[in-house]
Amino acid sequence: MQTRRQKVVAVLAGVLVAGAGLFAFNFGVKQFVARQGYEELQILAERKLALSEDRLNRLIEIMNDLQRRGIGTCRASHMQMLRQTALSVPVIKEIALVAADGQTDCTTLGPPGGQRTVLSSHPISDYPQMMLEVVSIGDKGENMLRIRRLPSDNAPGLALMMLGSRIFSHRSEKMSSGESDGLTRAEMQDGTLIGQNGVLRGAGEDAGFAMSLTSTSFGIEVTTTVSKLKYRDTAARLQMFGSAIFGGLIMILLAIASFVPSRQRENPIAELERALEAGEFVPYYQPIVDLVTGKLRGAEVLVRWRKPDGSTVPPALFIPLAESSGIILEMTRALMRKVCLEIGPAFAERQHLKICFNLAAQHFQDDSIVRDIRAIFGQSPVRLSQVVLELTERQPIENLAETRRLIATLQALGVRMALDDVGTGHSGLSYILKLGVDIIKIDKMFVDAIGIDRSSTTIIETLVDLAHNMRMDIVAEGVETFEQVVCLRDRGIRAAQGFVFAPPLPGTSFLQLVEATDPVHAAMPEKGILAVA
């Protein structure tokens, strides 16, 4: 009897202890989730505000430079220099000359279109001769943010304008048509909305963690909100885990210490290293087509992560981590080797076809890329003259002189060099002028705007003229409609890639396309017609 009572007491004690532990655990989970949310929010808010101030200071520097150079009339020569300035700074939407009465005389986009209404305006504290304004054009579209220099006796009234949301958004941040976990808003001192980025999941005042920071220099307030739903999901899973522990009484509490660590998320870098060793990163091929003849000119190699369960992970979810961790170097080597094995025989029979690989800024820190290219393609069926290397702009190039030297060394081997995402990344036009590349690739952003944004066509024409004058080839990316094909072809662009031709294809499908469109017994293309990727 005493033993039974002891067991009952022990069970009750275990239940009480477990219940107290469960209560403490759930309370700790809520505190942890709230603290994690505000810590992430603090970092995000400071980053958004710093980016906003940096962009505005950069625009002010540009305006001061234009004033020093005496550029401030609607003459054709001045407008051409203003257009070049706007093209070299991706965030600038328009540069305009504004009269003393506030009317717009001329802009880099041509004659002023739509009624410009100033919604809010105040002087910039450090630059009293300049005004920070929110402008609405017509009755549709997003608010524009404008920095306007007031006219004086020796300086015209200049205005730089950009989309309001671009003040704090990176190029890599894509606006989603669905829901997201965060929202950023920028407002003037009087509450006028400058722009916002993102969509917040949930509704009501308690939808998210919010934080506001104000720029003392420009008087704008940036508010970032992170959805609580994401953290509530995490809390719910942890609390369910605690409830399961409650059913096991006090003895199972001893196992929590050893079990919880195993529930922690695996190191993502270690997961990439494991996948690389297992050969889970595979090449996909984006066909590149001649817009005049319709023939295949080659392909750009894109990487996909094919997991053991058959699922495929898109590159946007792992390439940034691979680049920041340095894994991108070995990943690129492995990808090149797989490409040689997979398409080498087919390309050996079709020496006019080109195969293009994306490289990051890390590839140009030393001579390793030159050694890799020699080792991989020196004895490969894919000849060095068939290889095109694309320099991407996700990260800025730290040493332009060293990068130019390595590019020249690769070109001496017969490899061709391309500059990707021209006009949208870190480079502006400086990389085109300083790196000596053979090919420039027009970013999808400009192609998408064909027929919608008049300035996009102007930019494309400018890039085509620049490429022809510098004896470079030009390729359009992200072509999705036949109207875009016609527009690009009419403006002298010979090569393009995009879903209007084919999506990125696995190796077997791409080889079937090669055999169907370019059988070996068919006549080879004319010499002198360059096939690029």
Q: Where are the domains of the chain?
A: 24-239, 279-440+493-517
- Map tokens 């170097």 to a residue: 329
pLDDT tens sequence for the chain (533 residues): 444 555 555 556 555 655 666 666 666 666 776 677 777 778 888 888 888 888 888 888 888 888 888 888 888 888 899 888 888 888 888 888 887 777 788 888 877 767 778 889 899 988 888 889 998 887 666 788 889 888 876 666 888 888 777 787 754 444 333 344 678 888 998 999 988 887 776 655 556 678 888 988 888 998 888 776 666 666 666 666 666 666 565 555 444 444 444 444 468 889 999 999 999 999 999 999 999 999 999 999 999 999 999 899 988 889 888 988 899 999 999 999 999 999 999 999 999 999 999 998 889 888 999 999 999 998 899 999 999 999 876 567 778 889 999 999 999 999 999 988 776 655 556 677 778 899 989 888 888 888 777 777 788 888 888 888 888 999 999 999 999 999 999 988 999 999 999 999 999 999 999 999 999 864 445 444 344 43
Burial per residue of 103-115, b for 16 or more beta-carbon CB atoms within 10 angstroms, e otherwise: ebebbbbeebeee
- Give me the helices (H) in 278-352, please: 319-325, 327-348
Q: State residue 244's pLDDT score.
A: 64
pTM of the model: 0.50
- CATH architecture of the domain formed by 279-440+493-517: Alpha-Beta Barrel (3.20)
Q: Is the dihedral of CA 99, 104, 106, 107 positive or negative?
A: positive
Q: State residue 115's pLDDT score.
A: 76
The DSSP call for residue 181 is B
The H or E element spanning position 496 is strand 495-496
Q: State residue 387's pLDDT score.
A: 96
The DSSP call for residue 304 is E
Q: What is the DSSP string of 32-44?
A: HHHHHHHHHHHHH
Q: 206 and 187 in contact (C-beta within 8 Å)?
A: no
- Give me the helices (H) in 178-305, please: 228-246, 249-263, 268-277
Give CA torsion, residues 159, 160, 166, 172, to 10 deg: 170
- Cβ neighbours, 10 Å, residue 3: 7
The DSSP call for residue 189 is T
